Amino acid sequence: MKRKVILLRDASSHQVEPPAAAPSPLPAASWGAHTPPLVDGLGRPLRDLRISVTDRCNFRCSYCMPKEVFDGHQFLPHASLLSFEEIARTARVFVQLGVRKLRLTGGEPLLRRQVEQLIEPLAALQTPDGRPVDIALTTNGSVLARKAAALKSAGLRRVTVSLDALDDAVFQRMNDVGFPVAEVLDGIDTALAVGLGPVKVNMVVKRGTNDQEILPLAGHLRDRYGDQIRLRFIEYMDVGATNGWRMDEVLPSTEVRTLIQSRWPLVPLEAETRGETAERWRYADGRGEVGFISSVTRAFCRGCNRIRLSTEGRLYTCLFGSQGHDLRGLLRSGADDAQLAERIHQVWQGRTDRYSELRGSTEASVATQPRIEMHYIGG
């Protein structure tokens, strides 16, 4: 049966709107009451902004954009997308409000034409105390070999590459468009060669689909790259409403870790930053590190300091959100930076999300609310 994609947007979202006003300088005094970092309704600071630059993708990973739903899907028209100027301006306001990490994602971010032109202004951003902002991009790696040098010269510091299998047949089944694994591996090599390392590699594990690839992928990455690659195992999540998620297809991180440890002993590492999602371990023999992101079996909402900006300029305070908050209307209506900051402040202050902690609980609202799709708000 064909499942329907639910994208919750304003009815006005497809209207063509006038271009953004030129960014105005930030009047420091006007931030007044909102001394960063902002804290939400559960006392969590705002530190991490994920920006989806396109809702399109050339892969059809079954856990994210299943083919039977997304082939023939109406993606957003160009006029609905935030322009690079609008994104850069919004990011600048977020940085003034305490954001320290920017992540470009999608859809497939490298499909947005000349995305490197967006990286330049983002890489130039500084925190109020003059430090550089941590900027990275998450990609399926399909065109990374071609783009890596331009991304690096534009100021990108790191990339995360999603890679769910080493075996070509399994990988092609996972991306469901017959894309060869060799080209993604080539993208990783090129990223490292141009200085975008260490590269994080994300593997979403689906029990019965690619769990046989855990050891081969880990073995290949540690043997070939050592500490230049940080492999992260991600539990398959019930994000969106189209992937037909079932709990019995989730392989808990503890099982993945036990499997890895049976081959290569691991030593736990301390968290580097607050709000870190991965539990990190290093190989006892010094061949690098692995991490486990246990969004399903060990929720980390308590430290969640992320906000997401959708392709068309809606803010989502949780990956499992249903109603975003429109920022594009404000951006295009001539609002100044202080007004933007005020809106962001309101949204963050009103935030009480903790979906993963409540998953499976009897709180009916959590289970039954429609959820936004991952490719639309970014992972």
Interface residue list for ligand SAM (CB under 6 A): 57, 63-64, 105-106, 108, 138-140, 162, 202, 204, 234, 236-237, 239, 243, 374-375, 378-379
According to the binding rule CB under 6 A, does residue 375 interact with ligand SF4?
Answer: yes
The answer to whether the CB of 374 falls within 8 A of the CB of 234 is no
The least distance separating ligand SAM from the CB of residue 163, rounded to whole angstroms, comes to: 9
The whole-angstrom separation of Cα 317 and Cα 320 is 9
Nearer to ligand SAM, 121 or 141 (CB): 141
The whole-angstrom separation of Cα 65 and Cα 56 is 10
The answer to whether the CB of 333 falls within 8 A of the CB of 326 is no
According to the binding rule CB under 6 A, does residue 107 interact with ligand SF4?
Answer: yes
Which stretch, 20-28, 87-95, 244-252, 350-358, contacts ligand SF4 (CB under 6 A)?
350-358
Question: Which listed residue (191, 304, 331, 377) binds ligand SF4 by CB under 6 A?
Answer: 304
The least distance separating ligand SF4 from the CB of residue 31, rounded to whole angstroms, comes to: 25
The total of other beta-carbon atoms located within 10 Å of residue 193's CB is: 13
Nearer to ligand SF4, 95 or 318 (CB): 318
Question: Residue number with the shortest CB distance to ligand SAM?
Answer: 379
Question: Which listed residue (196, 347, 356, 371) binds ligand SF4 by CB under 6 A?
Answer: 356
According to the binding rule CB under 6 A, does residue 40 interact with ligand SF4?
Answer: no
The whole-angstrom separation of Cα 375 and Cα 67 is 13
The dihedral region occupied by 114, where left means phi > 0, alpha psi between -120 and 50, and beta the remainder, is: left
The least distance separating ligand SF4 from the CB of residue 317, rounded to whole angstroms, comes to: 7
Distance between start and end Cα atoms, the chain: 26
Which residues on neighbouring strands pair with residue 319, listed in sequence order? Answer: none
Give Dmax (Cα) for the chain.
59
The whole-angstrom separation of Cα 101 and Cα 99 is 6
Pick what 139 binds: ligand SAM, ligand SF4, none; C-beta below 5 to 8 Å, kind-dependent. ligand SAM
Write out the binding residues for ligand SF4, residues 281-300 only, by CB under 6 A.
Answer: 300
The least distance separating ligand SF4 from the CB of residue 81, rounded to whole angstroms, comes to: 16
The whole-angstrom separation of Cα 87 and Cα 122 is 9
Q: DSSP string of 332-360?
A: TTT--HHHHHHHHHHHHHT----HHHHTT
Pick what 62 binds: ligand SAM, ligand SF4, none; C-beta below 5 to 8 Å, kind-dependent. none
Pick what 300 binds: ligand SAM, ligand SF4, none; C-beta below 5 to 8 Å, kind-dependent. ligand SF4
Using a 10 angstrom Cβ sphere, with 0-12 exposed, 13-18 middle and 19 or more buried, the burial of residue 362 is exposed
Backbone φ and ψ of 84, nearest 5°? -60, -35
- Map residue 123 onto helix, strand or coil: helix
The least distance separating ligand SAM from the CB of residue 239, rounded to whole angstroms, comes to: 5
By rule CB under 6 A, what string of x and - marks binding of each residue 150-189 to ligand SF4?
------------x---------------------------
Type of residue numbered 26: L
Question: Which listed residue (112, 200, 354, 371) binds ligand SF4 by CB under 6 A?
Answer: 354
Write out the binding residues for ligand SF4, residues 130-149 only, by CB under 6 A.
Answer: 140
Length of the chain: 379
Nearer to ligand SAM, 92 or 103 (CB): 103
**Residue count, binding to ligand SF4 (CB under 6 A):** 22
The whole-angstrom separation of Cα 225 and Cα 108 is 25
Per CB under 6 A, residues contacting ligand SF4 are 57, 59-61, 64-65, 106-108, 140, 162, 300-301, 304, 318-320, 353-356, 375
